[in-house]
């Protein structure tokens, strides 16, 4: 088994135009997905959302960032375990997020023994 990080790009299911009812439905679908991951054991860490504001440090310069457009912005992450990259991508596909992008990246996971 290998470990993967899911990076959510986009609004993470939350556009300003969403109605409260739609938000509740989306949240409950996402919760169900997370709960399934926990009970089946492939969700290693439910992760967290990331606030949009931040700082970008490049050498000695510190600027307000990030500079990515909001649909490119990393809005959250979580960690899962899967047999291989295709299996991980399949799990990402089952995430009930509408309109967002999920980047699936395998951790290098080299043992230091």
Partner 1 sequence: MADHAASAEAPQLVEHFFRHESTHLVAVLTRAFGVRHLDLVEDTVQEALLTAMQVWSRRGVPKNPGGWIYRVARNRLLDALRRRSTHQRLVEAIESPVDSGPALDDEWWYRDQVPDSLLRMLFVCAHPALDRRSQIALTLKVLCGFSLAEIARGLLLTEEATKKRVQRARRRLAKAEVGVDLPPPDALDPRLAVVLEVLYLLFNEGYSTAAGDEPLRDDICEEAARLCHVLCHHPRLGTAEARALLALMLAHSARLDARLDSDGGTVLLADQDRALWDRRLIAHAELWLARSRTDAPSRYHYEAAISLTHCRAASIDATDWPHIVALYDRLLALHDSPLYVLNRAVARGESGDVDTALAELDSIRNRPEMRRYHLVDCAAGRLHELAGDRKAARRCYTSARAQSTAPHEQRLLDNRLTRLHGEC
Between 85 and 98, CB nearer to partner 1: 98
Between 97 and 104, CB nearer to partner 1: 97
CB of residue 64 to partner 1, shortest distance in Å: 16
CB of residue 96 to partner 1, shortest distance in Å: 9
Between 21 and 40, CB nearer to partner 1: 21
**Closest to 92 measured CA to CA, from 37, 52, 48, 49:** 37
> Distance of CA 46 to CAs 26, 51, 61, 63, 66, Å?
16, 16, 33, 30, 23
Give the DSSP H/E element, type plus range, for residue 14.
none
Between 19 and 111, CB nearer to partner 1: 19
CB of residue 75 to partner 1, shortest distance in Å: 8
Alpha helices in 1-84 (DSSP H): 20-40
Task: Provide the binding-site residues for partner 1, judged by CB under 8 A.
Answer: 12-14, 16-24, 26-28, 30-31, 34-35, 38, 46-49, 75-76, 78
CB of residue 92 to partner 1, shortest distance in Å: 15
Dihedral class, residue 19 (left if φ above 0, else alpha if ψ from -120 to 50, else beta): beta
Query: What is the C-alpha separation between 41 and 44, in angstroms, rounded?
Result: 7
């Amino acid at each position: 088994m290998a470990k993967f990080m899911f990076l959510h790009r986009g609004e993470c299911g939350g556009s300003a135009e969403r109605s409260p009812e739609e938000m509740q439905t989306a949240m409950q679908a996402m919760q169900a997905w997370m709960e399934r991951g926990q009970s089946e054991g492939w969700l290693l860490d439910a992760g967290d959302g990331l606030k949009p504001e931040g700082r970008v440090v490049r050498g000695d310069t510190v600027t307000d960032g990030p500079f990515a457009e909001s649909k490119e912005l990393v809005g959250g992450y979580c960690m899962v375990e899967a047999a291989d990259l295709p299996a991980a991508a399949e799990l990402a596909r089952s995430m009930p997020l509408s309109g967002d992008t999920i980047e699936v990246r395998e951790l290098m996971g080299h043992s230091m023994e």
